[in-house]
Amino acid sequence: MMDVTDRHCRYFLRLLSPSALLYTEMITARAIVRGDRESLLGFDAAEHPVALQLGGHDPVELAEAARIGEGFGYDEINLNVGCPSDRVREGRFGACLMLEPDVVAAAVGAIRSAVRIPVTVKSRIGVDDREGFDFLSSFVERVSAAGCRVFVVHARTAILSGLSPHENRTVPPLRYAVVTELKRSRPDLTVVLNGGITTEEAVEGALRSVDGVMVGRKIVDDPCFLATLEQRFVNPSATLPDRTAVVYRMYEYASRLAARGGRVHHVTRPMLGLYRGQRAARSWRRFLSERVCQPDASPRLLLESLRIVEQVTETE
């Protein structure tokens, strides 16, 4: 998720789920090859396992970016051919590449030759009027022949003309049956379902037909949902994280970041939904949102935020 799953967000989410595979934002191969690699790729060891999500169409450039990513310690390289934004389309990467399966296959082959870690592909079920099982199956057949064994499929068609990126996440109907049919037809592949998964029941139902589930926007709004999934589907004996303890850990993290010149709002941004469903949720979110914008904002405001929670709790 662009501008969402940065290193600070991933560190926070790892406190809620020890085992979930976390993904970076999509980063263009060109930016990695030519830009500030530490800024783009640096991450905390606590984030493992974490996948580097790449965008691009040039096999040589993608292979070099993947090689650099492996050198930074990423656990997986994921090629994103599902993003529908105008900016992505103009750069000839993202969902428009589903219309060029030979290009995607060449990219996958080049990346696999450059790294030893797994190489996966994230896609949609189709693009504009070319969609559905036959289209997706043909695309997967070509790309899997290049060596990709894992496909993460957002169960919506990408509408590249007429819909904004936000609308592309909500307007095209979800067609889970297309993804489950892909798994039935290709049991040799690992198929992961993405799109519109917001409940434990939906995850449980999906796992009867596919190998895994990717959850995105729901986690942004309700981060603790990730901890709930960890407990229910990975480690039933695990206890749900204590929110206060999570805030203390993020205070320590923010303090280390500030010592290197980082800004606290980068740390608090992914935390705003931590108390979702609790009485203190609105007051806590408002406090952080308002205080983090002030010139004197420091990591200590995270400790101060806990007093807001205590005050609301004491009035119950």
CA dist 189 and 211 (Å) reads: 9
CA-based R_g, the chain, Å: 20
For 137, other C-beta atoms within 10 Å of its C-beta total 15
CA dist 173 and 19 (Å) reads: 30
Please pick, among 83, 96, 148, 224, the residue that the annotation labels catalytic: 83
CA dist 59 and 271 (Å) reads: 37
Q: Please name the residue that has the structure tokens 């997967």.
A: 140
Q: Is 83 a catalytic residue?
A: yes
Alpha-carbon dihedral sign for residues 128, 134, 140, 145: negative
Nearest to 185 by CA among 129, 144, 130: 144
CA dist 170 and 155 (Å) reads: 11
CA dist 149 and 300 (Å) reads: 46
Contact between residue 159 and residue 128 where contact means Cβ atoms under 8 Å apart: yes
Buried b (16+ CB within 10 A) or exposed e, 49-70: ebbbbbbbbbbebbbbbbbbbb
Report the catalytic residues.
83
